[in-house]
Amino acid sequence: MNQAELARLTAWAARHVEGFAGPVHLTRFAAGQSNPTYRLETPGQSYVLRRQPPGLLLKGAHALDREARVMRALGAAGFPVPRVHALCQDREVLGAWFYLMDFCAGRIFTRAQLEDVARPERAGLFDAMNETLAQLHGLDPVALGLADYGRAENYLPRQIARWGGQYREDELAGRDAAMDFLMDWLPSNLPPAQAATIIHGDYRIDNLIFAPDAPRVAAVLDWELSTLGDPLADFTYHLMMYRLGPEFPAGLAGTDLAAQGLPAEDAYIADYCRRTGRAGLVDLRFYLVFNMFRFAAILHGIKGRLLRGNAASANARAMADNFTPLAALAARLARA
155-167 per-position pLDDT tens digit = 999 999 999 999 9
pLDDT at 179: 96
pLDDT at 52: 86
The closest of 52, 64, 88 to 224, measured between CA atoms, is 64
DSSP symbol at 257: H
Full set of structural domains in the chain with CATH: 3-102 (3.30.200.20), 119-335 (3.90.1200.10)
Conformation bin of residue 224: beta by default, left when phi > 0, alpha when psi is -120 to 50: alpha
* Overall residue count recorded for the chain in this entry: 336
**pTM, to two decimals:** 0.90
Query: What whole-number distance in Å separates Cα of residue 82 and Cα of residue 257?
Result: 31
pLDDT at 59: 55
pLDDT at 30: 74
Q: How many Cβ atoms sit within 10 Å of the Cβ of residue 263?
A: 18
In the three-class reduction of DSSP (H, G, I as helix; E, B as strand; rest coil), residue 152 is classed as coil
What is the residue-averaged pLDDT of the chain? 92
Query: What whole-number distance in Å separates Cα of residue 2 and Cα of residue 15?
Result: 20
In the three-class reduction of DSSP (H, G, I as helix; E, B as strand; rest coil), residue 209 is classed as strand
pLDDT at 311: 67
**pLDDT digits 0-9 by tens, 16-73:** 999 999 899 999 987 655 788 999 999 999 999 999 876 555 555 567 999 999 999 9
E strand spans, 103-146: none
Do residues 303 and 323 touch, judged by C-beta distance below 8 A? Answer: yes
Helix and strand numbers (H, E) in the chain are: 12, 9
pLDDT at 318: 84
Amino acid in position 253: A
| 113 confidence band (pLDDT: 50, 70, 90) | very high
| 174 confidence band (pLDDT: 50, 70, 90) | confident
pLDDT at 63: 77
| 310 confidence band (pLDDT: 50, 70, 90) | confident
Distance separating the N- and C-terminal Cα atoms of the chain: 50
**pLDDT digits 0-9 by tens, 201-226:** 999 999 999 999 999 999 999 998 99
The closest of 122, 101, 100, 96 to 111, measured between CA atoms, is 122
Do residues 327 and 182 touch, judged by C-beta distance below 8 A? Answer: yes
Cross-strand pairs, 219? 209
DSSP symbol at 189: G
Interval 106-129 mean pLDDT? 96
Q: Which residues, in sequence order, are CB contacts of 326 under 8 Å at separation 6+? A: 244, 248, 292, 295, 296, 299
Do residues 37 and 82 touch, judged by C-beta distance below 8 A? Answer: no
Share of the chain above pLDDT 70, in %: 95
Query: What whole-number distance in Å separates Cα of residue 86 and Cα of residue 9?
Result: 12
Do residues 272 and 235 touch, judged by C-beta distance below 8 A? Answer: yes
